[in-house]
Amino acid sequence: MLVSFREVDVDTWNNIIGDTQDRRLSKAEENTLYDSIEHGLTMAAIFFLKDPLRPGVREAVEKCHRAGINVRMLTGDVLDTAKAISLEAGILKPEDLDPEQEDAQYVCMTGEEFRKAIDGKVVMTKKLKEKKEDEDGSDHDDHAPKFEIKVEAKIENMNKFRSIAKKLKVMARS
């Protein structure tokens, strides 16, 4: 996180923001306003946050590896963060990140890269549920239609899926 500032007197501030407080801005006007506000700033500080691994994670991963379990990580972090965390946890070893190894691009991937590689698709269907009657013959009519939603993941290239599954250790947010 970057913290910065600029000393601005009231008249200058009012000239920068103009009539923007009382109306909705177009994207172009918004960008111009932000450029005006963020111009000439002085950096005051940079903060970095790190969420440490919980105690025992690395040992648990090592125990799984000794037992023959292939540990994989699926995370909402971006790929570079996911790689760093998985190295720290022992899921990845430095040699796993060697770009010269065979199929190196499949060790760490984003969800989007994975879906494209296997020609994967997520299909969602929605259909109206049939009304069910109670044992006394009455139906539940709360005036709101009830829908059944079905989500199905389809893998078009199963051979590629199997090939990637052998190498994949980390999947990060798309």
163 and 103 within one domain: yes
Write out the residue range of the structural domain in which residue 122 sits.
57-130+148-172
Into how many domains does the chain fold? 2
Per-residue confidence of the chain (174 residues) as pLDDT tens digits?
889 998 888 888 888 777 777 788 888 888 888 888 888 899 999 988 888 899 999 999 999 999 999 999 999 999 999 999 999 999 999 999 999 988 899 999 999 999 999 999 888 888 888 766 656 555 555 667 788 888 888 999 999 999 999 999 999 987
61 and 19 within one domain: no
pLDDT confidence of residue 48:
83
61 and 24 within one domain: no
Structure-token pair, residue 149: 């939603």
Q: Does residue 108 lie in a domain region? A: yes
Instruction: Return the CATH number at 119.
Output: 3.40.50.1000
Q: Does residue 138 lie in a domain region? A: no
Q: Does residue 141 lie in a domain region? A: no
**Global pTM value:** 0.61
